[in-house]
Amino acid sequence: MNAKLPLYVVLAVLAFAAIPGASAQQSQPDTGPRPVLSPRDTLVERASIFMAEKRYDAAIQTYQELLKSEPKSAVFLNMTGIAYLNLSKMDDAKKYFERSSKADKKYLSAVNNLGMVWYYQKNYRKAIREYKRASQIDPTQAGPHANMGFAYYNSNKYPESAAEFQKALELDPHVLEHNERVGTMMQDRTVSNHGLFFFTMARVYAEKHDPEHCAEYLRKSLDEGYKDIKKVKTDPAFKEVMKDPGVQAVLVLIFPEDQKGAAAQPGA
């Protein structure tokens, strides 16, 4: 199945190690003439450039060259899968992610990315299965939990979704703000019913006593016209943030009638 993949939602979490063996000089300040790279490192650098430029066919060809000498490199297999994923070639992506996860059974990125293939094919049950496997490989990584949150949400399992978002935010408070397009582990944020999703996230942040993000998502939910947004007043999850000025500013927009009533009282 090669469904059209919306590239603007293909995101990467920068929480994983760089390609092993690649030149460390890339991360150092330029203090003099650049050392000559080995043929392998030259190919690694070239593949990375092709990925950054979204020249995925060229990246695949370069990774294939690398795989000739390192056929069981979990990293190169995974990056090839990512390139195919960005080309919407789901079957090829799945094949390389499976090969990567078999080459290194503890390579979290490949397992997570296999879940992404199922996610794009809207098989959320299998996507969740792979995300769970990924989270078991390394329980300290937030990405798989965030991905599970989205998969549960799109399965209409809202309590499970909120729980996974809570776990993800506990591990990395900024996990939902990452928007880089480079890295080894993919993340997707596509959802249906944006109003409900934003309200759910406002609730998650309220329970974390984070009024700033709570207010941000409440406003987004309001802008989307979420029909049940007035439940914010009676939902106990919001109790601890209701007096925050930022939250109050959004509540004024949600309940304009309260302001009118307050203004009418002095002259009554």
Q: How far apart are CA 126 and CA 143, in angstroms?
A: 17
Rounded CA separation 243/222 (Å): 18
* 12 strand-pairing partners: 180, 186
Query: Would you say 98 and 69 are in contact if contact means Cβ atoms under 8 Å apart?
Result: no
Closest by CA position to 48, among listed 18, 84, 90: 18
First to last CA, the chain: 67
Distance CA 70, CA 55 (A): 22
- Whether the CB-CB separation of 126 and 116 falls below 8 Å is answered with no
> Beta strands 11-13 and 185-187: pairing type?
antiparallel
Q: What's the CA angle centered on 16, arms 210 and 125, to 5 degrees? A: 70
Beta bridge partners of 180: 12
Would you write out the chain's pLDDT as a tens digit for each of its 268 residues? 444 444 433 444 333 334 555 444 445 555 667 778 899 999 999 999 999 999 999 999 999 999 999 999 999 999 999 999 999 999 999 999 999 999 999 999 999 999 999 999 999 999 999 999 999 999 999 999 999 999 999 999 999 999 999 999 999 999 987 654 456 887 877 888 899 999 999 999 999 999 999 999 999 999 999 999 999 999 999 999 999 999 999 999 999 987 765 555 555 4
Predicted TM-score (pTM) of the model is 0.79
- What pLDDT score was predicted for residue 179? 53
**What pLDDT sits at residue 81?**
97
